[in-house]
A = this chain, B = another copy of it.
Amino acid sequence: MKFQTILLVIEVGGTLAFAMSGLLEAIRKRMDIVGVFSIAFVSAFGGGTVRDVLLDRQPLFWVQHQEYVWLVVALALTAPLWLKTFRHRLTENAMEFADACGLGLFAISGASIATAAGMPPLVAVLMGVITAVFGGVTRDVLCNQIPKVYHDHRPYTLCAVVGCVVLLGAEAMGLSTELSMVAGICTATGSRLLAVIFAWKLPAWPAQQREG
């Protein structure tokens, strides 16, 4: 029971963080209210929707958990209030933290759902990554820019991959599902936080100097 509650809190935090990132990006692009709402929705629900479609899961997770949709609606409606109040460095750190939590939980939930559906490890890792990353990719495509996760040279997708591998490894070693999930989430979220704090860079693509 308590474990479920913790998961719920993190999942809600992740959804809100992802919705928030879409909202801020849409505002930056000077979209109208409908655009801001739409991008917030897509950022929050894009990854999980693609995962559910690829795994043929019905109903979709946001159909099953409508409260998430209402949550994003409430977030968008109240955004002007607290955007005015909290626009300083503290908030950006809080955003990065929530986003890292979302990354970890979305990746592990995606991989777990795929494993539960009988998918092999490789596919489970891919589904974890898709769940964690696709919302942000779609957000950037709709905002007409190259997806940030593909060219900001900061580890993000990699953290999701490592977390999913830890999850599957722990399960293969006989750990309980709960413990494996916690280990996976901590690895993904933790490595992302370390990457942000210490400004880790992905190695440049070897051929990159010779192109362009």
Which residues of A are interface residues toward B (Cβ below 8 A)?
26-36, 38-39, 49, 53-54, 56, 58-60, 62-63, 66, 69-70, 79-80, 83-84, 119-120, 122-123, 126, 137, 141-147, 149-153, 155-158, 202-208, 210-212
Contact = CB atoms under 8 A, between A and B. Distances in A.
A126 B69 contact: yes
A155 B37 CA distance: 13
A38 B150 contact: yes
- Mostly, the A contact residues are helix
Copies of this protein in the complex:
3
23 contacts: A27-B211, A29-B151, A30-B208, A30-B212, A31-B150, A31-B151, A32-B153, A32-B204, A33-B203, A33-B204, A33-B205, A34-B155, A35-B150, A38-B149, A39-B150, A49-B54, A56-B58, A69-B123, A137-B142, A141-B141, A141-B142, A141-B144, A144-B144
Contacts of A63: 119-120, 123
Given A80-B205, A142-B141, A202-B33, A28 B151 contact: no
Contacts of A149: 34-35, 38
A24 to B, nearest CB: 8
